[in-house]
């Protein structure tokens, strides 16, 4: 391709996968605009049926391999109580990571046996709540163990505990994590503190836990194998491991087309190198940058396109080779250990979207179209450098636009006083410029995107959360919004 072609080549779209409930609902523009009028902008719209399907898919994998397995929904990925309720209805577990998350789950009626507390910081109040309700506590460090022992003594109760493990060996290197007990030191710790009820007589040890960064199947399998080995060692100290929890971080796939994803990445690199027009605001490299004319860095974003996601991802972990066994699943089966997973994002795949109202259109001094939304950057934000899915406009008005306002590249801007409150850094091509009052839909935002970083700066209200009932064509406010 010549330089000239590259310059005029249109930025590639990134078309998201959309569940049927979403496409069906969006066709009813009157219902949608009524909802935004009633609940405000932006509005988070949810549905629990993809959530249930995602749960079942994981459960099917456990069945297929003949494993004892359990799913715990990591509820920090979404604040709605609707998903906690759905978890309870399906009798799956709920992973809680704060006092309020735990308190709400208990209030919702989730039984203690279905709860786990993995909070990174556990203060006395939180441990008291967990012990009082017999909730399994995943321990992170020895100060926490000391605090918990004190809480148990005060309540004259036992605590159900598991140990979070990290520092696994993988491909000749030791991985680093700030969380948990180091795999190479935990035996000594357990021997000194847990064995013979020496230091922690009130602890009832139940199992091992880890949660890894990144999305490597092989690394998870390696960590699981090392936990299996550790479980064997702990038996020597009469500590029976009844479960190994392999955490969350199971990949999902957001995009319909692999080619779009690959083209996007190559276009981004070309743009940062100055070989084509920018495809992001201010030619933001999303992790790539130029150093002495060389492209360095890497795309600092979730891998939006994947072929081995959700249940396939879990299957691949179980299919990993283990000497002397058919595969990892085969080894675990012989040990009678329950495998637990704690997916957050992947259970919420297709379970929610965010819709916001257009407040203004304008052209900036560089000729870019800016479309201002009644929304801010924290209301759709993850740790990714950008949310790499195309939004869609629901055109409500039949305002005529001139030719120049058709097939337009736009940037969406938010309500904060910051120059950087761009809702998406990527330029989006729209069939025509939206009108004031039109709606913009951001897809598949239920996992982290809508809630994890939302703030009340400027004292803006947080977005309302509703569940859509397909049969009744009606919205119901999540009870989280009324507590
Ligand atoms: C965040 C977290 C999860 C969920 O991770 P996902 O990527 O949403 O699947 C599970 N367990 C622990 C301990 C976590 O911190």
pLDDT of the chain along its 483 residues, tens only? 444 554 457 889 999 999 999 999 999 999 999 999 999 999 999 999 999 999 999 999 999 999 999 999 999 999 999 999 999 999 999 999 999 999 999 999 999 999 999 999 999 999 999 999 999 999 999 999 999 999 999 999 999 999 999 999 999 999 999 999 999 999 999 888 887 668 999 999 999 999 999 999 999 999 999 999 999 999 999 999 999 999 999 999 999 999 999 999 999 999 999 999 999 999 999 999 999 999 999 999 999 999 999 999 999 999 999 889 999 999 999 999 999 999 999 999 999 999 999 999 999 999 899 999 999 999 999 889 999 999 999 999 888 878 888 889 999 999 999 888 899 999 999 999 999 999 999 999 999 999 999 999 999 999 999 999 999 999 999 987 765
Atom of ligand 1 nearest to the CA of 248: 9
Q: Are 474 and 34 in contact (CB under 8 A)?
A: no
Q: How far is CA 190 from the centre of its chain?
A: 32
353 Cα–ligand 1 center, Å: 20
User: Which of 379, 398, 405 has the alpha carbon at shortest distance from 463?
Assistant: 379
Q: Whose CA is nearest to atom 7 of ligand 1?
A: 249
463 Cα–ligand 1 center, Å: 23
298 Cα–ligand 1 center, Å: 23
pLDDT of residue 483: 52
22 Cα–ligand 1 center, Å: 26
User: Ligand 1: does its nearest atom lie under 6 Å from the Cβ of 162?
Assistant: no
Q: Are 170 and 214 in contact (CB under 8 A)?
A: no
Tokens of 331: 């080894």
User: Ligand 1: does its nearest atom lie under 6 Å from the Cβ of 342?
Assistant: yes
314 Cα–ligand 1 center, Å: 15
Q: Measure the CA–CA gap between 117 and 129, rounded to whole angstroms.
A: 10
pLDDT of residue 8: 56
Q: Whose CA is nearest to atom 11 of ligand 1?
A: 247
Atom of ligand 1 nearest to the CA of 343: 9
pTM, 2 dp: 0.96
179 Cα–ligand 1 center, Å: 12
User: Ligand 1: does its nearest atom lie under 6 Å from the Cβ of 180?
Assistant: no
Q: Measure the CA–CA gap between 457 and 404, rounded to whole angstroms.
A: 36
User: Ligand 1: does its nearest atom lie under 6 Å from the Cβ of 211?
Assistant: yes
User: Which of 428, 408, 417, 411 has the alpha carbon at shortest distance from 282?
Assistant: 411
Q: To test ligand 1's pocket by mutation, which of 95, 209, 223, 317 has the most ligand atoms within 8 angstroms of CB? A: 95
pLDDT of residue 82: 98
Q: Whose CA is nearest to atom 15 of ligand 1?
A: 211
67 Cα–ligand 1 center, Å: 22
Q: Are 171 and 220 in contact (CB under 8 A)?
A: no
Atom of ligand 1 nearest to the CA of 348: 8
470 Cα–ligand 1 center, Å: 29
341 Cα–ligand 1 center, Å: 9
Atom of ligand 1 nearest to the CA of 76: 1
User: Ligand 1: does its nearest atom lie under 6 Å from the Cβ of 346?
Assistant: yes
pLDDT of residue 192: 84
Max Cα-Cα span within the chain: 81
Q: To test ligand 1's pocket by mutation, which of 247, 341, 352, 452 has the most ligand atoms within 8 angstroms of CB? A: 247
Question: Residues for the chain: how many in total?
Answer: 483
Q: Whose CA is nearest to atom 2 of ligand 1?
A: 248
Q: Tell me how crowded residue 315 is: count the other CB atoms within 10 A of its CB.
A: 17
320 Cα–ligand 1 center, Å: 22
Q: To test ligand 1's pocket by mutation, which of 83, 178, 211, 306 has the most ligand atoms within 8 angstroms of CB? A: 211
User: Ligand 1: does its nearest atom lie under 6 Å from the Cβ of 95?
Assistant: yes
249 Cα–ligand 1 center, Å: 6
User: Ligand 1: does its nearest atom lie under 6 Å from the Cβ of 345?
Assistant: yes
User: Ligand 1: does its nearest atom lie under 6 Å from the Cβ of 77?
Assistant: yes
């Amino acid at each position: 391709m010549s330089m000239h072609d590259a310059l005029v080549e249109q930025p590639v779209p990134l078309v998201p996968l959309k569940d049927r409930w979403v496409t069906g609902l969006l066709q009813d523009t009157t219902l949608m605009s009524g909802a935004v009028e009633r609940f405000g902008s932006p509005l988070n719209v949810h549905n629990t049926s993809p959530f249930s399907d995602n749960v079942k898919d994981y459960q099917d994998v456990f069945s297929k391999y003949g494993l004892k397995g359990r799913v715990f929904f990591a509820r920090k990925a979404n604040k709605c109580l609707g998903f906690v309720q759905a978890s309870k209805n399906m009798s799956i577990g709920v992973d809680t990571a704060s006092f309020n998350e735990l308190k709400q789950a208990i209030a919702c009626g989730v039984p203690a046996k279905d709860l786990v507390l993995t909070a990174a910081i556990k203060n006395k109040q939180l441990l008291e709540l967990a012990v009082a309700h017999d909730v399994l506590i995943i321990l992170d460090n020895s100060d926490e163990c000391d605090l918990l022992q004190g809480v148990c003594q005060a309540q004259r109760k036992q605590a159900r505990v598991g140990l979070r493990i990290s520092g696994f060996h993988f491909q000749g290197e030791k991985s680093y994590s700030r969380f948990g007990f180091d795999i190479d030191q935990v035996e000594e710790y357990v021997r000194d503190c847990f064995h013979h009820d020496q230091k922690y007589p009130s602890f009832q040890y139940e199992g091992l836990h880890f949660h890894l960064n990144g999305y490597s199947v092989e690394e998870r399998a390696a960590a699981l194998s090392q936990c299996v080995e550790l479980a064997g060692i702990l038996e020597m100290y009469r500590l029976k491991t009844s479960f190994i929890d392999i955490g969350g971080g199971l990949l999902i796939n957001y995009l319909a087309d692999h080619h779009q994803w690959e083209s996007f990445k190559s276009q981004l690199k070309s743009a940062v190198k100055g070989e084509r027009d920018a495809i992001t605001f201010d030619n933001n490299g999303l992790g790539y940058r130029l150093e002495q004319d060389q492209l360095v860095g890497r795309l600092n974003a979730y891998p939006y396109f994947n072929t081995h996601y959700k249940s396939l991802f879990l299957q691949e972990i179980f299919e990993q080779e283990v000497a002397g066994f058919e595969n990892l699943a085969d080894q675990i089966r012989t040990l009678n250990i329950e495998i637990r997973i704690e997916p957050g994002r992947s259970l919420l795949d297709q379970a929610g979207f965010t819709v916001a109202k257009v407040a203004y259109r304008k052209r900036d001094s560089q000729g870019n179209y800016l479309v201002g939304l009644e929304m801010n950057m924290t209301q759709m934000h993850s740790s990714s450098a950008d949310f790499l899915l195309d939004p869609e406009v629901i055109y409500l008005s039949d305002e005529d636009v001139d030719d120049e306002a058709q097939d337009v590249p736009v940037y969406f801007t938010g309500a904060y006083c910051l120059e950087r409150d761009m809702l998406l850094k990527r330029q989006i091509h729209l069939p025509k410029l939206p009108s004031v009052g039109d709606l913009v839909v951001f897809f598949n935002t239920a996992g982290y995107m809508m809630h994890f970083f939302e703030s009340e700066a400027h004292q803006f209200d947080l977005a309302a959360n509703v569940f859509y009932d397909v049969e009744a064509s009606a919205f119901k406010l999540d009870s989280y919004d009324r507590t």
